Amino acid sequence: MISAQLPFRYAVYFCPAPDTNWGVAGAQWLGRCAVTGKKDQQLQFPGIDPELFSSLTSHPKRYGWHATLKAPFKLVPEHEVGDLLLKMHQLAKSLKPFDLPRLGVSTTGGFLSLRPTEISVQLNDAAAMCVRDLQSFALPLTADDLIRRRKAKLTPEQDKLLVEWGYPWVLDQFNFHFSLTGSLQFIDESKQQKLMQAAQQHFGHLSVCRFDRIALVIEPEAGKDFEVIKLLELYP
């Protein structure tokens, strides 16, 4: 339920349904489900300090178990959330469900994640459609937003995408992933290996992940946990 006060930001995610094996496994890893709002005690893994694990997963926990399709944005004043939901319904009718490639544990980008082990044209096309079709709802980034984003040392192509689409990792720079931790910059190699082993142990046995829904997500206030307000199933 959306409160009378407009949310700070919106986003569009792929979120596995909370009652599926991927939805359950992700919520267990983070200790929180953004779809149901339920919080649980996180799992513990041999050789990994629970406090360290909680700290490392605090950033993805705030965003919830998801893969980003349209990065967080502020809604332009000429549109209401109902307009955005209507467009989301249209998107859900246009997209078709499909199986994701096998997901593997990765430290690409300096954080732990699950990423496809091979290219999926269907996946890239679905993400591109979300970015393009919803761009008219997104308020352009401010000068401060651009400065903050450019701290990531973007390539010229990524900077161009940032200015045009509000996010540098879209279209041909898109990298689908489920974030498992925040930055591992100050985590030594042995601890990183234990984290990778824990992720492989926890997710490696799961069956194929089905891309079969998109989610409208809100950040109610700046810095608050993201919440799924609508899960839209894709039409076969």
pTM, two decimals, is 0.94
- Residue whose entry in the numeric block shows the structure tokens 């082993």: 197
Domain boundaries, the chain: 9-233
Q: Where are the alpha helices (DSSP H) in 142-186?
A: 143-149, 156-165
Torsion angle of C-alpha atoms 184, 190, 194, 199, degrees rounded to 10: 40
| Residue 185 pLDDT | 94
Share of the chain above pLDDT 90, in %: 94
- pLDDT tens-digit profile of 182-221? 999 999 999 999 999 999 999 999 999 999 999 999 999 9
Hey, which residues does 166 pair with through a beta bridge? none
| Residue 57 pLDDT | 97
User: Looking at domain 9-233, which CATH architecture does it have?
Assistant: Alpha-Beta Complex (3.90)
Residues 6+ apart with CB under 8 A from 115: 103, 104, 106, 108, 175, 176, 177, 178
Q: By C-alpha distance, which of 177, 179, 182 is closest to 209?
A: 177
